[in-house]
């Protein structure tokens, strides 16, 4: 038995007209039911609420709104229809579903994190398939870049999953954009992430979806740091879920878990909180932080880009500009600017102030 999290995106759930494709929902429900019969515990993360709401108001996919308020309204309109489709599909196999709406901040506040974990555990004990979606109707910035991929990866850590399956409308991560290079081929396995790999992917792939392959790779990174294997595969491939769980070659792109993992809170800091600014550090500070076990002090900061207050997430970059860490600031930008050294004299007490404490710092590169 293993624990599996399945995420399916809007572009995979809809046809070219932007309408929910019931045949895909029925096939995914069938495969999840088969996994359950084999003893696997499955959690489903689904997008599609906004897409389900657009036809109600006769809005074509090419005219998908971009403002968050309209998107929130469309989500609230489409959520009941999306839930009904999944409920009816699973009912054919005698399986009940239970809806949970989440947002990234639910993983950073410990009380909410523990509550979500206990609710999911109880649903599994009751034989129910949890059906998770981003809480689009009340979120703001997150709705703009399709955070369900990221939420799926955080859920994988939350439920101690063995495998995260990200279903999309391509065969996986390819060596090039197939719309430009017909010779593009599938990358079957990813062990480490690098700039070349990330340059192969861009933004959202279709007007109906909002995540794109870049979002999938970010989710796979989170899962890898959680010790979870990720498979990025085509939702329309026959037996895709069963084969992905079984580890069959060629199902899609498999991203291997890292040997070292991060706690839930550090995953939230590193990947779920948007950074509002960047601080550049000198070589000595960068080396000390990269080795681990050190806090970032004001004396090591050489530059500040952007404005921030205490509690905001900030990126930490080397002199070259490479971002290698992220953390929660304990000072505001103004306080940090006042504490920075202005000469070669020994650092004062103010310059020794902690900018990011080691407990709030994540080295991600």
The CATH number given to whatever domain includes residue 313 is 2.30.130.10
The verdict on residue 305 lying in a domain is yes
- State mean pLDDT over 318-330: 95
Are residues 317 and 278 in contact, defined by beta-carbon separation less than 8 angstroms?
yes
Integer Cα distance of 164 and 159 in angstroms: 11
Record the pTM: 0.85
- How confident is the model over 230-268, as pLDDT tens digits? 999 999 999 999 999 999 999 999 999 998 888 888 988
Q: What are phi and psi of 341, to 5 degrees?
A: -65, 145
**How far apart are the C-alpha atoms of 97 and 101, rounded to whole Å?**
13
Q: Helices 22-37 and 68-91, interaxial angle, to 10°?
A: 50
Instruction: Give the CATH number for residue 97.
Output: 3.40.1160.10
Q: Which pLDDT tens digit goes with each residue over 342-353?
A: 645 555 666 689
Mean pLDDT of 75-85: 92
Closest CA to 25 of 108, 120, 112, 90: 90
pLDDT digits (tens, 9 = 90+) for 149-183: 999 999 999 999 999 999 998 899 888 777 787 88
User: Helix (H, G, I), strand (E, B), or coil: what is residue 175?
Assistant: coil
Q: Is residue 137 scored above 80 in pLDDT?
A: no
CB-based burial of residue 36 (10 Å sphere; 0-12 exposed, 13-18 middle, 19+ buried)? middle
pLDDT of residue 65: 87
**Range with top average pLDDT, 66-70, 80-84, 133-137:** 80-84
Give the structural domain span for 312: 275-363
Number of domains in the chain: 2
Last residue of a domain, one of 243, 264, 285: 264
Q: Quote the percentage of the chain above a pLDDT of 90.
A: 57
Average pLDDT in the chain: 87
The pLDDT value given to residue 350 = 63
- 98 in the same domain as 217: yes
Same domain, 299 and 224: no
Task: Kindly indicate the confidence band of residue 341, based on its pLDDT and cuts at 50, 70 and 90.
Answer: low
């Amino acid at each position: 038995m293993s624990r599996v999290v399945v995420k399916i995106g809007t572009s995979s759930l809809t046809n070219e007209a932007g309408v929910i494709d019931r045949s895909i929902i029925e096939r995914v429900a069938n495969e999840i039911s088969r996994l359950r019969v084999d003893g696997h515990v499955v959690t489903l993360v689904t997008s599609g609420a906004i897409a389900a709401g657009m036809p109600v108001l006769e809005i074509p996919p090419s005219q998908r709104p971009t403002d968050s308020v309209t998107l929130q309204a469309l989500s609230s309109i489409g959520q009941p229809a999306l839930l009904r489709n999944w409920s009816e599909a699973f009912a054919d196999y005698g399986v009940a579903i239970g809806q949970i709406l989440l947002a990234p901040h639910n993983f950073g506040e410990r009380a909410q994190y523990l509550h979500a974990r206990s609710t999911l555990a109880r649903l599994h004990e009751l034989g129910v398939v949890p059906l998770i979606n981003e809480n689009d109707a009340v979120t703001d910035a997150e709705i703009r870049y399709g955070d369900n991929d990221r939420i799926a990866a955080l859920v994988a850590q939350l439920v101690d999953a063995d495998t995260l399956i990200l279903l999309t409308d391509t065969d996986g991560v390819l060596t090039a954009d197939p719309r430009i290079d017909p010779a593009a081929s599938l990358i079957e396995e990813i062990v480490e992430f690098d700039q070349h790999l990330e340059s192969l992917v861009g933004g959202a792939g279709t007007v109906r979806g909002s995540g794109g392959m870049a979002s999938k790779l970010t989710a796979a990174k989170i899962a890898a740091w959680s010790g979870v294997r990720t498979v990025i595969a085509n939702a329309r491939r026959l037996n895709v879920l069963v084969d992905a769980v079984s580890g069959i070659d060629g199902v899609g792109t498999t991203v291997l878990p890292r040997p070292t993992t991060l706690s839930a809170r550090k995953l939230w800091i590193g990947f779920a909180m948007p950074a509002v600014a960047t601080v550049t550090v000198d070589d000595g500070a960068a080396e000390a932080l990269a080795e681990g076990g050190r806090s970032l002090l004001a004396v090591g900061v050489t530059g500040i880009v952007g404005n921030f207050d205490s509690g905001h997430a900030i990126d930490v970059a080397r002199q070259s500009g490479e971002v290698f860490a992220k953390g929660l600031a304990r000072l505001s930008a103004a306080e940090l600017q006042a504490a920075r050294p202005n000469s070669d004299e020994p650092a004062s007490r103010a310059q020794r102030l902690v900018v990011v404490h080691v407990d709030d710092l994540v080295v991600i590169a």
